[in-house]
Structure 1
């Protein structure tokens, strides 16, 4: 194999050269491969390192474990792969994956490969993209040379994603690679070449053979990328988004009635996700941005007097979010947070107009709780108007709302609002057991504090619930007497 480029000696951590020395002693061809090579060329750091050898990986990995004091040794016999961790002086803990060179074949209805022992070329050609199909020998003879059979280094410099083989072959073997194409485009800001994009469009339905769990992992990586709309737009243009997330593609397009059209909700949503991503790495806040208008297609109405309306899309959206979380196999723990963001994303807007009352601010603070800052980030990202004057006016109004929130928080100590007493306090003070009456009294007390009818302290709240309970009892007695 010819040496296209040569890496500087200090480009790799010293422990990799020690592995190369171990390989020389056993006369084992040993190569650094995959994403780690790409990251080295891009001057990015990574702790996940793939090493490919010509030979049996398990005995070789055992020698590495013994000589370099590896830990968490795991063997994947079907894929001729070993995983272990190594502690290094210069790079901290690294996760090492050692695999034997292999070639793969696939059944049409499965992405699980049938593997057999292969050559270096076999192994590199089965990779997803040319930028991930480069190798660097660790053996002393050709150490630090770049083996690049598919011009991955050229594609890296041109910021292009191409498959090593014909894209139809690469994507047919493993359709998840189409999701990875969108993900790498988003993460690295690379363009897909025309043949790759065309193949993805013609093979979009093949993504159906991939498990939802694997699709979900790649989708969330796109959402976590610096500019998620890059990957999302690729999925949309190729038709893959419709296969994996039809609720999103239902938002696309503009409908016209009597010359009046609404904005393209899908494009607006992509813009919101990007704007939010500039200010938050929280993946579930980004998901909330993705889903904040998800129910607009279901609530869309047109009337000659009002034009286009989407009444109740926040409420319907919270219900649809649960269905989507289940469908996408996302963890349910963040669901209440995402639903809260969807439900409240329009709530601060009326506060930004006209006079803001303390009670209105308290109610927003109470409902948003400790997620108020995230809600305001979402609201700001939701402003995608192309009119600079309008954007400036809305943002100034949000500034006023946030100043008012600070004033009320300082005045009422409600920055993270909690009622001054809880249900247990109510049951103890009134001699009640758990039940509907306790809930009613608690809600009345909370509303009284929020509206400023009683001060925010324990004594006032206890006096209020006792008075409220007496009034409820008197009202009940009066009703019985009338009978």
Structure 2
């Protein structure tokens, strides 16, 4: 299909693309053509043009082998890197443009291996056939700008559907991660997934076990940071994929019988996630979103049936924090992300623990200190966690939290809550007690910190007197 075969709006999209990327793409296309090789813009770079999104990264494909690509870009590119050369990819930078040039290829997984086997191909059409979805199997040849769409990707974009170029079973057998990518694209683009693709995902879900934790993590992270994460998560749960990559999610579908009625935790979780997203101010907050998704994963393990048909989940936040840390660690998330998400899960009920009465200054100080740098996220998670249909109850909870935030702001002005420390530091404690470094200093520090949280600023003199009284009571000093 040539550009002339496209609709007016589609022709404009392609023309706009090449107005932006020229002369970089055409220059490189000429370099390859003079050496007798093909080159085409491909995949997501073409898809995004028709979605109205053009960045500074371009994916290209060629019949030239990686070593030959290196020879041709040498002297043309500003810089070159070969980190992906084992998989046929050479990266280059030219001005502000980042280009990844990949040799025509196909790849498949040995059932016993986590690494794909790469075989190079000879034609653009064959390369497009091995791609994950038809919307990513479009290309524009360089330097002639011929549009290539053998598998109907443009029609799928119009219909907002995800379909594989060939049989989905073959596609997923070649690379099982594509099943997760289906859920990820559903979450990012809001597209429906072709029924044949869903059926293949369901039948082949256990094949995902062969994929490395890092690749699974990256897809899940992109999914949850997408514009429509509910769609992607529901697809994972409905096809059984979640049981292999995020088993805590389907476990939230607790059985509810006529004698033990309680909130649908799975549905509640998805609503909390959406309500947390609605509070984001500047793009996706991965820590907040993961905390919203995992905040109740301790409930299945702590569910107890009480008298009168009640159901309790005592300490589910503590159990949930432990499960969160375990899951994110197994998915190889960075330690800081794991720690922050786990801490939010642990703290998400803290607000309710104080009841609906007046908060003391001590309670406010402890709330802020325990949240630390996560305070703003904790505010959002706590508000998002209210999914009751009882309008009066929801409004009462919102007002109570409004009052708490006002109290925090008022105390923060007076006391710099985020930086609360005892009024005496370690050296001063040693001087007052006449002791050297050791466990006694740690105990004294904790005493002074608790006093600071409970009573606020007293002044150094009062802190010394209180410390001496504590030391005599504890037997550190003679009575």
Q: TM-score, normalised by structure 1?
A: 0.90
CA distance in 1, matches of 2:255, 2:107: 45
Partner of 1:23: 32
Match of 1:357 among 360, 369, 378: 360
SS of equivalent residue, structure 2 residue 82 = strand
Match of 1:47 among 32, 56, 67: 56
CA distance in 2, matches of 1:199, 1:365: 49
**1:391-423, CA deviations, whole angstroms, 9 ceiling, x for partnerless residues?**
222212211111121122223332443333333
CA distance in 2, matches of 1:298, 1:418: 37
Partner of 2:413: 410
Q: Please tell me whether the aligned partners of residues 134 and 163 of structure 2 are also in contact (alpha carbons under 8 angstroms).
A: yes
1:81 equivalent to 2:82? Answer: no
Output the aligned Cα RMSD.
2.3
Q: Please tell me whether the aligned partners of residues 295 and 320 of structure 2 are also in contact (alpha carbons under 8 angstroms).
A: yes
Partner of 1:382: 385
**1:163-195, CA deviations, whole angstroms, 9 ceiling, x for partnerless residues?**
111111111111000011101110111111111
SS of equivalent residue, structure 1 residue 334 = helix
Q: How does 1:4-15 map to 2 (within 5 A)?
A: 4-5=5-6, 6=11, 7-12=13-18, 13-14=21-22, 15=24
SS of equivalent residue, structure 2 residue 165 = coil
SS of equivalent residue, structure 1 residue 83 = strand
CA distance in 2, matches of 1:105, 1:473: 71
**1:285-335, CA deviations, whole angstroms, 9 ceiling, x for partnerless residues?**
222222211111111111115711111112222222222223222222233
Shift of 1:48: 2.5
Over 3 Å counting, the alpha-carbon distance change for 1:191 and 1:428 in structure 2 is farther
**1:114-142, CA deviations, whole angstroms, 9 ceiling, x for partnerless residues?**
40332111100000000100000112xx3
Q: How many residue pairs were aligned?
A: 466
CA distance in 1, matches of 2:173, 2:363: 56
Shift of 1:438: 2.1
Q: Please tell me whether the aligned partners of residues 226 and 277 of structure 1 are also in contact (alpha carbons under 8 angstroms).
A: no
Q: Which range moves more in the overlay, 27-36 or 247-256? A: 247-256
Match of 1:302 among 296, 302, 305: 305
Over 3 Å counting, the alpha-carbon distance change for 1:352 and 1:471 in structure 2 is closer
CA distance in 2, matches of 1:62, 1:461: 73
Q: Please tell me whether the aligned partners of residues 276 and 286 of structure 1 are also in contact (alpha carbons under 8 angstroms).
A: yes
Partner of 2:41: 32
Q: Please tell me whether the aligned partners of residues 352 and 397 of structure 1 are also in contact (alpha carbons under 8 angstroms).
A: no
Q: Please tell me whether the aligned partners of residues 352 and 400 of structure 1 are also in contact (alpha carbons under 8 angstroms).
A: no
1:433 equivalent to 2:436? Answer: yes
Shift of 1:352: 6.2
Q: Please tell me whether the aligned partners of residues 186 and 230 of structure 1 are also in contact (alpha carbons under 8 angstroms).
A: yes
Over 3 Å counting, the alpha-carbon distance change for 1:211 and 1:295 in structure 2 is same
Over 3 Å counting, the alpha-carbon distance change for 1:210 and 1:395 in structure 2 is same
Q: Please tell me whether the aligned partners of residues 103 and 119 of structure 1 are also in contact (alpha carbons under 8 angstroms).
A: no
Partner of 1:277: 277
Partner of 1:331: 334
Runs of 4+ off more than 6 Å: none
Q: TM-score, normalised by structure 2?
A: 0.90
Shift of 1:209: 1.0
Q: Please tell me whether the aligned partners of residues 226 and 278 of structure 1 are also in contact (alpha carbons under 8 angstroms).
A: no
Over 3 Å counting, the alpha-carbon distance change for 1:76 and 1:138 in structure 2 is same
Match of 1:71 among 79, 83, 104: 79
Could you list the runs of 5+ residues in structure 2 that have no partner in the other structure?
none
Q: Which range moves more in the overlay, 313-322 or 193-202? A: 313-322
SS of equivalent residue, structure 1 residue 50 = strand
SS of equivalent residue, structure 2 residue 94 = strand
CA distance in 2, matches of 1:131, 1:52: 16
Q: Please tell me whether the aligned partners of residues 352 and 398 of structure 1 are also in contact (alpha carbons under 8 angstroms).
A: no
SS of equivalent residue, structure 2 residue 474 = helix
Shift of 1:30: 1.5
Partner of 2:160: 159
Over 3 Å counting, the alpha-carbon distance change for 1:448 and 1:471 in structure 2 is same
Partner of 2:217: 216
**1:95-124, CA deviations, whole angstroms, 9 ceiling, x for partnerless residues?**
211122234455344461340332111100
Over 3 Å counting, the alpha-carbon distance change for 1:11 and 1:352 in structure 2 is farther
CA distance in 2, matches of 1:320, 1:119: 48
